[in-house]
Amino acid sequence: MREAGRAAARAKSDIERGTWRDASGGEKRFGVFAERILEIRSAELAVRTVQGYRSLLRKHLMPTFGHMKLNAITVLVVDAWYASAARSMPPVTLKNTYFLLSGLMRQAVRYRLVRENSCQREKAGKDMSRRRPELPIGTQQAIIEAHPAELRPLLWLTFGAHLRLGEVCALRRSDLNLEAGTLLVERHVQEVPGGTVVTKTKTGNRRTVAIPEQVLALLADYLRSKPMLPKAPLFTSPRAKGPIRRRYLYEQWRKACVARGVPEFHFHDIRHTSLTLMAQAGATPRENMQRAGHRTIAAAMRYQHALEERDHSVAARASALMPSVRAVESHAG
């Protein structure tokens, strides 16, 4: 009885400190726990994201950790796995797999099944990739002009409303309000084995974006030549009836980039360029966050580097206008 009382007191103390864990919960197998967490999270994650996580889990985590008890997955075990995986796994795959493992163990801590997250390698699961090359607006215009004429309104709308590829493909005629000069963005198309799936946007939020006048004029001409019902796809595929497909846009973009001698640019760079220009035009991080549909200010801040670069440019121009400056000479007494 005394021992039971002491155990209860220790548990109470741990709960008050926020360090209590369910000792029996740590006996759960990692594989069972991981599948359960992905099942829970699947309602709030994009379909392709869940598919990617399941693939990483099956190929790279289950062989080592699937049979292990959660409380047996220590920092030493994870570090040993990481060192071994780093010798054979591509860096991006290793980063993504470690990110998944860390997220799963973080959930185990949240559910008080283990005391701490055993993934403690600094920056191991963070995106360390280089910043994408800047797509100058002049180069972007040349790429767009290398596309078939019927795709140019789509591409300029992608630019003017900072759209993701899946958002472009999900647009309906009713989403575009020419009189108000706005676009409603609330859906996202993802291609999965066997077809496509329409979901909420990547962040789960809907947004209304004001469109630049030049783009509105282009869209007005486009709609005059292609009248459509409100629920009809705003852009259709020339290959078959129905909404335009992601794969078709990928192919056309790649072909146009090669034709212009700039194969390094991606379709998503249109969005990056447009948000960078918005920052240069004076948009605050919160305004860019709203226009882009970002969840956090941190995501919008990546486009503020344009302001830092412009700040140096302004300083350089100011310096050129200043008279010659030299240090004050000291005179010996």
Output 5 or 138, whichever has higher pLDDT: 138
Q: What is the pLDDT of residues 95-129, one digit of tens each?
A: 999 999 999 999 999 999 999 999 998 877 665 55
Q: What residues contact 14, with CB distance under 8 A and at least 6 apart?
A: 20, 21
Q: What is the pLDDT of residues 141-192, one digit of tens each?
A: 999 999 999 999 999 999 999 999 999 999 999 999 999 999 999 999 887 7
Q: Supply the pLDDT for residue 116.
A: 92
Q: Region 199-213: what's the mean pLDDT?
A: 88
Burial 3-26 (b: 16+ CB within 10 A, else e): eeeeeeeeeeeeeeeeeebeeebb
Indicate if the pLDDT at residue 222 is higher than 60: yes
Output 177 or 279, whichever has higher pLDDT: 177
Q: Region 41-69: what's the mean pLDDT?
A: 90
93 touches 60 (CB < 8 A): yes
- Given pLDDT bands bounded at 50, 70 and 90, which one contains residue 307? low
Output 92 or 298, whichever has higher pLDDT: 92
Indicate if the pLDDT at residue 194 is higher than 90: no
Indicate if the pLDDT at residue 306 is higher than 70: no
Q: What residues contact 16, with CB distance under 8 A and at least 6 apart?
A: none
Q: Region 45-50: what's the mean pLDDT?
A: 80
Indicate if the pLDDT at residue 291 is higher than 50: yes
- Given pLDDT bands bounded at 50, 70 and 90, which one contains residue 15? very low
- Given pLDDT bands bounded at 50, 70 and 90, which one contains residue 44? confident
Indicate if the pLDDT at residue 79 is higher than 60: yes
Output 120 or 13, whichever has higher pLDDT: 120
Rounded distance, CA 251 to CA 25, Å?
Answer: 49
- Given pLDDT bands bounded at 50, 70 and 90, which one contains residue 286? confident
Indicate if the pLDDT at residue 313 is higher than 90: no
Indicate if the pLDDT at residue 302 is higher than 80: no
The answer to whether domain 2-110 has CATH 3.40.1390.20 is: no
Q: Region 72-82: what's the mean pLDDT?
A: 95
- pTM for this predicted structure: 0.66
CATH superfamily to which 137-312 belongs = Intergrase catalytic core (1.10.443.10)
Distances (CA, A) of 71 to 17, 37, 67, 209: 20, 17, 12, 48
Rounded distance, CA 153 to CA 220, Å?
Answer: 9
Q: Supply the pLDDT for residue 138.
A: 92
Q: Supply the pLDDT for residue 300.
A: 57
Q: What is the pLDDT of residues 227-266, one digit of tens each?
A: 899 999 999 988 767 889 998 999 999 999 999 999 999 9
Indicate if the pLDDT at residue 333 is higher than 50: no
Q: Region 259-281: what's the mean pLDDT?
A: 90
Q: Region 295-319: what's the mean pLDDT?
A: 58
Q: What residues contact 32, with CB distance under 8 A and at least 6 apart?
A: none
- Domain extents in the chain: 2-110, 137-312
- Given pLDDT bands bounded at 50, 70 and 90, which one contains residue 295? confident
Indicate if the pLDDT at residue 2 is higher than 90: no
Output 60 or 289, whichever has higher pLDDT: 60
